[in-house]
Structures are given as C-alpha cells and as structure tokens.
Amino acid sequence: MAAPAIEGAAVTALRSVMVRVRQAAERAGRRPESVRIVAVSKTKPVSLIRHVYDAGHRCFGENYVQEVVDKAPQLPEDIEWHFIGHLQSNKVKTLLAGVPNLAMVQGVDNEKVANVLDRVVSTLGRNPLKVFVQVNTSGEASKSGIEPSSCVALAEHVKLRCPNLVLSGLMTIGMPDYTSTPENFRKLSNCRLEVCKALGMAEDHCELSMGMSGDFEQAIEMGSTNVRVGSTIFGPREYPKKQSN
C-alpha cells in the first residue's frame, strides 16, 4: 500500500475509533470527553504519526525508550507523549531528558523506578510528572506490574514520598485472548477503590488506564478513562529487530 493510502487509512481509523469511544461512553452514561485516546505508535514512522497529528490528534504512546527519544524531537512540541509499560530505572534519565513533552508514565511498577523518576524530574527542573501505577491483574509471570495486594503500598509511596511525581491513576494490561478481560478490569477498579480509600482521594482524581485495540469499548463501559489503541489506528506493527526498554 502506498504511503498516502496508509496515512489516509490511519486517519479514517482514528475517526472510527473516536466514534466507537463516544458510543461506548454514552452506553455507560458517561461523557465521551472523559475518555482519553492514547494512539500507540510503536514501530510506526514519524511521517505516519505526523499525519495523524495533522488530523487533530495530540496524545500518542510509545513502549520503547529509544524509540520515543528518537521520534519526539522530529514532531511538534504540543504532542502529549505517554510512556507505556515497564520502565527500567537506568533508562529514566534518557527518557526524561530526551522527551521534554513527556506527559505521563503509565507503568510505575516498583518503588525503585518511582524514586529514580522523582529524583530525575527534580534534577532536570521539570514540572511534576504524572504517573500511573501498573498493576498485574492477570497474574501472568510474563507481565510487569505490582500485585493487586501491593497496589496500595506502592501508590502511597508515590503520593507521599515522591514530591516530583503526581499519582494520577492505575494501569493494567489484560489477557491477550480477552477471555479474562472483565475480571482483570474489575480487579483494577477494586484497586482504585482501595487506593482512594487509603489515601483519601476522590475516585475521579484516580484514572484507570485499561483497554487496547481488542477491548477498549468494554474497558470504557467498565470505567476506563484511558484507552491505548495502536494497531486499530496504525495497522499491524512491524518489528524489524528486537528492542529493549
């Protein structure tokens, strides 16, 4: 498929996703603007991201540190970048220094990375950084994330001991076959209840990031405020070589 056709398809797909998000929100009795669409652009070229940007979208997500560090300087500064998934503490400085417009890290899964993020934000003189605590709701050994039973303790650490971070919500990655999706999403919702009770937070100040291309509508109906949609917008991912965070 020629580049213009691919770019046009991505914009058409984005608009379709926006319609589906609005309809899912309305089914749940929610305002459509309460749901953030994070267009996950990993493995996709800057030219394609720019085309989606030109169509009006501003929120993009990446999973690999080097990839977002390479892409961000080539794209407009008003993009709201989200880093999604497990972040190695030794790559925190590279990420924060390389992406001044990083808006959020969706993937704090241990105290060490929280502490390093907090320190580097301070060292660089950045504004406080929004973070989501990543919870492993599926119990899969291959998945990153804190155990649900430890979620409150990590959330407390971020909120009370990391002054340069803003605890903004919880994130999870569901099962790949979606059979356990409702259970995974309910677990994250329950974690939010526990976190908000322990920290005296209002629920609407603690977002939920759950739902991807295959299950984002169900996630919205179950309360998600962030959906991470990649292949449905950009097409199948292409992995030329193995990358690490």
Q: Is 229 helix (H, G, I), strand (E, B) or coil?
A: strand
For tokens 């899969």, the residue is 140
Sign of CA dihedral 114, 118, 119, 121: positive
What residues does each domain of the chain span? 1-229
pLDDT averaged over every residue in the chain: 93
Side-chain-side CA neighbours of residue 228 (13 Å): 22
Q: Could you read off the pLDDT of 117-172 as tens digits, one per residue? A: 999 999 999 999 999 999 999 888 888 899 999 999 999 999 999 999 999 999 99
pLDDT surpassing 80 at residue 4: no
Kindly state the average pLDDT of the residues 12-28.
97
> 236 is written with which tokens?
């199948």
pLDDT surpassing 60 at residue 230: yes
pLDDT surpassing 60 at residue 2: no
Q: Is 157 helix (H, G, I), strand (E, B) or coil?
A: helix
Q: Report the pLDDT value the prediction gives residue 15, as an integer from 0 to 100.
A: 97
Q: Report the pLDDT value the prediction gives residue 6, as an integer from 0 to 100.
A: 73
Sign of CA dihedral 80, 24, 56, 12: positive
Cα–Cα distance for residue pair 40/228, rounded to 1 Å: 6
**Residue 12: count of CB within 10 angstroms of its CB:** 12
Counting residues of the chain whose pLDDT is more than 70, the rounded percentage is 93
Q: Report the pLDDT value the prediction gives residue 176, as an integer from 0 to 100.
A: 67
The CATH code of the domain at 1-229 is 3.20.20.10
CA 28 to chain centre: 22
